Amino acid sequence: MMIETQRSIHEVLTNIEKVIIGKHEVTTLSLAALLAKGHVLLEDVPGVGKTMLVRALAKSLDCSFNRIQFTPDLLPSDVTGVSIYHPHTQQFEYRKGPIVGDIVLADEINRTSPKTQSALLEAMEESSVTVDGETIKIHQPFFVMATQNPIEYEGTYPLPEAQLDRFLIKLEMGYPTEDEELKMLSLTGGLHPIEALTAVIDKHNVVAMQEEVNRVYIDPLVQQYIIKLVRQTRQHDAVQLGVSPRGAIGLMRVAKAYAFIQNRDYVIPDDVIYLAPYVLAHRLILTHEAKYANMTGEQVIQAVLNQIDVPARKDFN
Amino acid sequence: MKGNRRMQRGEAFLTFLLYVGGLILALEWLSPLHDLTDSEPFTLFVIYAILCFGLTYLQLSSLISFFIKMMGLLFIIDRAFLPRPVFGSEWFEQIQWEGRTNINALINQNWHQLTDLFQTFLLLILIALMSYLLYFWLITMKRVFVYIVLTIVFITVMDTFTTFQADLAIIRLLMVSLFMLVIGNYLKRVKQQGLTFEVGLWFEKVVVPLFVIVAVAVFVGYYAPKSEPVWPDPVPFLTTTAERLTTNDQNRQVGYSEDDAQLGGSFEQDDTPVFRANTPVEHYWRIESLDTYTGHSWERSTELSYQSFQDDALELIYNQQHQMLQNATIEYLDGANFDRLVYPQGLSQVNQTEALSLQFDQETGIIEPTNDNDSLHSEPIALSFREPDLTVDQLRRANGPTPADITSLYLQLPDDLPDRVRELAEEIVSEEPTRYDQTVAIEQYFNQGDFTYQTQNIPVPEDDQDYVDQFLFETQVGYCDNFSTSMVVMLRSVGIPARWVKGFTSGEQIEDLSTDDQEMFQYEVTNGNAHSWVEVYFPEIGWVPFEPTIGFSGNEVVYEDSEEEGDQSDSSLDEEEIEQEDQEEEESLAEEQEQEQQEEQEETAAETEQPTSQINIWPWLIGLVCLILIIAAIRWKWLLKKAVLWRWSHFKEPKDLQKAYHQLLKLLALFRVKRAANQTLNDFAQDIDQLFGITSMSKLTDCYARLLYRNEQSIDDDQALVQYYRNVVETILS
């Protein structure tokens, strides 16, 4: 079973990388977030392949793919769906919004109003939507990849900082390297590569994998390490509001998923250290002084990682 | 860039300080030399040490530095040992002789025959080697602690086992060590953690507290009350224990002791000076006499009844007031562990001051301070005495009745004295008419060749044996106690009152203080000069000293000289000549005896491996320690590797692997790379593997990580792990 899933994961990753050139890290982290039942916030300029990544992921996993293009005039009901009166049955009938799907791309969420944003975020957090008092559960796999343009662009509504906590991971795509860009050009032409992609596994496999991720072992030693890291973010001078307990849980979940992807059934501190900036940085609210000093959440997390000792010893009975 | 340079300068300065500390400690190693040898070579040693350390610090090319060090070494050797002019014929002869002697000594392994020149040569080489070693240790490795511990051990051992006093050295050591430890630790941290060095901050955070701590520690240590040692001085304990294990004799330390509960047994030579005396004539120094012989020991039958000491109160030989007073001074030294006055025959006056009043016991002649608080040691004591003026004729005529109080005390003999002693004595004196002649006959009996002077391998009489009987008839070897006790016993057995006297011989003349109008010599008297002799009572004359011990003279000289001067027309001129001849013979014999004695001592020393003189220990001690250090410095990696691998030949439990793994981390930290506390094990293992071009560290780490983070409870393939472990250890220690 284990070997098979491993091969599947490997195939998924290679499959996606046929389309997304040179973004192994982003791909892997996205998959990890998906397996950890979390959602990803991608922050980058348009045109670096955000949409392509999500579509490739959906296709490889044989999942449905919905895309919501956030605009300033988008209403919450455009996301969650509406109940409309059906003249034949003389009843209101729920019509699914685009959020109810397997893999959802929420494009440029900082272009829409906070009201609509929060509708999205609530759906993400609860894995359900409530329309006219009726709660509709969204089944796993449910994976939202939201993208936002860097906030200094004009005409944006920055996401409330507290809302950012809802995203398990925040990633940046970054521009490809020269070689990678060249390779992209050579691949373009004729049939779009995304069309050529075939599914590697199906939804049920994904759900099964999510269950397996849950069973990945994490030693109390590593748990303590996570807690120490998280608590230390609350002590840091540059931080106004540190990482919440939700952040700690998130870090543990991603660490398990990441270990699973790495073909390991236990979490090691290396996983935690690697993931901490992606999982924790966007959850910090820095002090104004720190912001003026151009300090970033990543820098703070790095400092915290340097301060906390890696557990390297335990009491054997 | 500028800050960086300043930082490096600061570091270089601290390193220099560290090395200077190392030099100061090295000089402490040499300081026992100062006490144990002359001071002139010591100054040269110090200069040479500074030269070597300086050269090593400068890191000149090794050839130049070696050349200069060798030249310095040869210069010192030449200056201290070889005759002028340099390259003269004598100079070459001396070198040839030295070479021959030392090569012979080395081949025959007669270590004590190595000459001073060669020993000094070795010492200087050791100093030069030490400068290299310490450079490596202190500057390259920044390892301070071991060196300090070794130094402290060395100094304390020297303090305990030799005459070297380390009181001040320990204080200096404490101060220098604390400084060195702080600097060393600081430098290590700077190196390991990439700390920046800021002079101001360093001064405030390190230097000031350091000075305060050192000052407080020294102050408290110096002025705090110190309790007496819990253990007795280990040296006598060790020597006696060692001797009990190796021989059946009970050795004793030579010297004056108030206790004579046990006669017999060998004694150890001890050259600790006891007192220094300025006196115009050479004579013995009397302390006390004892009256009762038990067969095994000398005791006092009377209680000491003290009366205050007046001029001429203690008249051993009566009616000498017409003789001229001679002045002498005595200065007690630290080696004197008794508080009784040593005085010449014919003591008349002692200069009693406010700080010192004296009392004396008529019977024994013990003179002591009246108050317990007074001490003879506090200042030099001036005294005057009259050289007794007796003639042989006078003594021969002294045949009157002996007072009853003398006979009751001084004719005592043990009841179980074997008859053959008395028979021998009677046989010796049978032909002699007078008490004096009888006494001389017994005194001379020991000089006839049957008896040997010897301090080693002297048995203690068994319970049913008599000390005198054993000496006269069985062993016939012994030292002053044997001779003098035997003479007293023999005299008493033929009815001549005699007693046993303890004190010191005249000692060694160390200076001539004579002026035009007065002769004056300075003598140094050591524990080795402790002696016992005989006093014989002559009616109306008093107690006259005799010296039965062969090889000794100087006691009767007073008496014989005066006889010569006072009675030149004496009828017994022939006898006198004979006696003079005897005396000459005695002297030459004494020299021979002394030589024999020395040889014997050396032989015994070699056999029992006891050093004859404590001074000779130190070069070998230093040499030994240095040798160990050098071996450790050269082979330490190898030793460490063997030790570690021997320890971890298998990993039975997770605990073992954890211990071994962390030891490995420490080992790595020691040599090449230290894992930062925030670095993961895997990450670190990869660094290590990359650094050394191996894969074992990652594999080993992977297994350990499983124990830690996967909570595995057992080790599957421990031999593979051992192999990985071995690989890593061998790689880093190669």
Give me the pLDDT at residue B72, please: 87
Sign of the C-alpha dihedral, residues B174, B179, B182, B187? negative
Instruction: State whether B264 and B402 are in the same domain.
Output: yes
pLDDT tens-digit series, residues A266-283:
999 999 999 999 998 888
Give me the pLDDT at residue B122, please: 84
Give me the pLDDT at residue B654, please: 82
- Owner of token pair 């056999």: B607
Nearest CA in chain A to B713: A316
Residue B622 within a domain = no
Label residue A120 by pLDDT band (50, 70, 90).
Answer: confident
Instruction: State whether B314 and B210 are in the same domain.
Output: no
SS3 B430: coil
Label residue B640 by pLDDT band (50, 70, 90).
Answer: confident
Spatial contact of B531 and B284, defined as CB atoms under 8 Å apart: yes
Instruction: State whether B211 and B317 are in the same domain.
Output: no
Spatial contact of B663 and B657, defined as CB atoms under 8 Å apart: no
Label residue B96 by pLDDT band (50, 70, 90).
Answer: confident
Tell me the domains of chain A and their CATH numbers. 2-208 (3.40.50.300), 217-307 (1.10.8.80)
Nearest CA in chain B to A274: B680
Cβ–Cβ gap A266/B710 under 8 Å: yes
How many degrees, rounded to 5, is the angle at CA B730 between CA B726 and CA B733? 140
Residue B176 within a domain = yes
- Give the mutation candidate from B680, B687, B697, B714 for the A interface (greatest A CB count, under 10 A): B680
- Owner of token pair 């380390």: B166
User: What's the rounded mean pLDDT across residues B426-441?
Assistant: 86
**A290 touches B: beta carbon within 8 Å:** no
Residue B223 within a domain = yes
Label residue B556 by pLDDT band (50, 70, 90).
Answer: low
SS (H, E, C) B479-548: CHHHHHHHHHHHHHHCCCCEEEEEEECCCEEEEECCCCCCCCEEEEEEHHHEEEEEEEEECCCEEEEECC
Q: Please list every residue in chain A whose beta carbon sits closer than 8 Å to the beta carbon of residue B678.
A: 305-310
Nearest CA in chain A to B714: A316
Cβ–Cβ gap B662/A217 under 8 Å: no
Give me the pLDDT at residue A248, please: 92
Q: Nearest-CA distance from A250 to chain B in Å?
A: 19
Q: Nearest-CA distance from A286 to chain B in Å?
A: 23
Task: Please give the backbone phi and psi of residue B63, each rounded to the nearest 5 degrees, phi first.
Answer: -70, -45
Cβ–Cβ gap B709/A270 under 8 Å: no
Residue B104 within a domain = yes
User: What's the rounded mean pLDDT across residues B132-159?
Assistant: 82
Q: Chain A to chain B, count of Cβ pairs less than 8 Å apart?
A: 55
Nearest CA in chain B to A270: B680
Spatial contact of B21 and B180, defined as CB atoms under 8 Å apart: yes
**B679 touches A: beta carbon within 8 Å:** yes
Separation between Cα atoms, residue B467 and residue A185, nearest integer Å: 120
Instruction: State whether B199 and B302 are in the same domain.
Output: no
Q: Nearest-CA distance from A315 to chain B in Å?
A: 8
Residue of B655, B662, B679 with shortest CB distance to A310: B679
Query: Percent of chain B at pLDDT above 90?
Result: 0
Query: Percent of chain B at pLDDT above 70?
Result: 83
Q: Nearest-CA distance from B188 to chain A in Å?
A: 21
Separation between Cα atoms, residue B263 and residue B459, nearest integer Å: 9
User: What's the rounded mean pLDDT across residues B565-581?
Assistant: 44
Q: If you average pLDDT over each of A126-135, A229-238, B560-569, which comes out highest?
A: A229-238
Instruction: State whether B216 and B257 are in the same domain.
Output: no
Nearest CA in chain A to B701: A312
Give me the pLDDT at residue B101, please: 86
Instruction: State whether B265 and B365 are in the same domain.
Output: yes
Instruction: State whether B559 and B673 are in the same domain.
Output: no
The mean predicted confidence, pLDDT, of chain A is 84
Instruction: State whether B478 and B428 are in the same domain.
Output: yes
Q: Nearest-CA distance from A277 to chain B in Å?
A: 15
Nearest CA in chain A to B702: A268
Residue B41 within a domain = yes
Range of the domain at B37: 2-231
Query: Percent of chain A at pLDDT above 70?
Result: 96
Label residue B199 by pLDDT band (50, 70, 90).
Answer: low
Label residue B608 by pLDDT band (50, 70, 90).
Answer: very low
User: What's the rounded mean pLDDT across residues B346-352?
Assistant: 82
- Owner of token pair 């009201």: A115
Label residue B365 by pLDDT band (50, 70, 90).
Answer: confident
User: What's the rounded mean pLDDT across residues B452-478?
Assistant: 82
Give me the pLDDT at residue A226, please: 92
Q: Please list every residue in chain A whose beta carbon sits closer than 8 Å to the beta carbon of residue B657.
A: none
Residue B65 within a domain = yes
Give me the pLDDT at residue A123, please: 85
**A2 touches B: beta carbon within 8 Å:** no
- Which of A79-83, B79-83, B570-574, B606-610 is least confident? B606-610
pLDDT tens-digit series, residues B470-505:
888 888 888 888 888 888 888 898 888 999 998 888
Q: Please list every residue in chain B whose beta carbon sits closer than 8 Å to the beta carbon of residue A252.
A: none
Q: In the predicted model, is pLDDT for residue B225 greater than 50? A: yes
Spatial contact of A29 and A169, defined as CB atoms under 8 Å apart: yes
Cβ–Cβ gap A221/B658 under 8 Å: no
Separation between Cα atoms, residue B529 and residue B254, nearest integer Å: 8
Instruction: State whether B73 and B175 are in the same domain.
Output: yes
Give me the pLDDT at residue B36, please: 62
Q: Please list every residue in chain A whose beta carbon sits closer than 8 Å to the beta carbon of residue B707.
A: 314, 316
Label residue A227 by pLDDT band (50, 70, 90).
Answer: very high
Interface of B with A in 648-677 (CB under 8 A): 653-655, 658, 662, 665, 675, 677
Q: Please list every residue in chain B whose beta carbon sits closer than 8 Å to the beta carbon of residue A309.
A: 677-678
Separation between Cα atoms, residue B170 and residue A264, nearest integer Å: 60
Question: Which residue did the predictor score with more confidence, B250 or B10?
Answer: B10
**A215 touches B: beta carbon within 8 Å:** no
Question: In sequence order, which residues have a C-beta less than 8 Å from that of residue A158 and are 6 or more positions away?
Answer: A110, A151
Instruction: State whether B489 and B428 are in the same domain.
Output: yes
Give me the pLDDT at residue A257, please: 92
Instruction: State whether B423 and B516 are in the same domain.
Output: yes
Q: Are strands A285-286 and A239-241 parallel, antiparallel or unpaired?
A: antiparallel
Q: Are strands A65-69 and A103-107 parallel, antiparallel or unpaired?
A: parallel
Residue B247 within a domain = no
pLDDT tens-digit series, residues B30-83:
877 776 665 566 788 888 888 888 888 887 777 888 888 888 888 888 887 788
- Which of B2-11, B179-188, B611-620 is least confident? B611-620
Question: Which residue did the predictor score with more confidence, B563 or B317?
Answer: B317
Q: In the predicted model, is pLDDT for residue A34 greater than 80? A: yes
Give me the pLDDT at residue B583, please: 52
Cβ–Cβ gap A268/B662 under 8 Å: no
**B231 touches A: beta carbon within 8 Å:** no
Residue A78's Cα: distance from chain center in Å? Answer: 22
User: What's the rounded mean pLDDT across residues B265-278?
Assistant: 79
Give me the pLDDT at residue B73, please: 86
Total domains in chain B come to 3
pLDDT tens-digit series, residues A87-110:
888 887 778 888 888 888 888 888
Q: In the predicted model, is pLDDT for residue B237 greater than 90? A: no
Q: Are strands B498-504 and B508-512 parallel, antiparallel or unpaired?
A: unpaired
Going by the DSSP 8-state scheme, the letter that residue B611 receives in this structure is -
Q: Please list every residue in chain B whose beta carbon sits closer than 8 Å to the beta carbon of residue A311.
A: 708
Cβ–Cβ gap A310/B678 under 8 Å: yes
Cβ–Cβ gap B653/A316 under 8 Å: yes
User: What's the rounded mean pLDDT across residues B525-537?
Assistant: 87
Q: How many residues does chain B have?
A: 734
**A314 touches B: beta carbon within 8 Å:** yes
ipTM for this prediction: 0.85
Instruction: State whether B215 and B354 are in the same domain.
Output: no
Nearest CA in chain A to B658: A313
Give me the pLDDT at residue B145, please: 83
Cβ–Cβ gap B678/A267 under 8 Å: no
Q: In the predicted model, is pLDDT for residue B609 greater than 50? A: no
Question: In sequence order, which residues have a C-beta less than 8 Å from that of residue B42 and are 6 or more positions away?
Answer: B30, B33, B34
Give me the pLDDT at residue A225, please: 92
User: What's the rounded mean pLDDT across residues A195-223?
Assistant: 86
Label residue B570 by pLDDT band (50, 70, 90).
Answer: very low
The token duo for A168 is 């398990």
- Owner of token pair 């008092």: A133
Q: Nearest-CA distance from A49 to chain B in Å?
A: 32
CA neighbor of B534 nearest in space, from B469, B443, B464, B609: B443
Residue B617 within a domain = no
Label residue B614 by pLDDT band (50, 70, 90).
Answer: very low
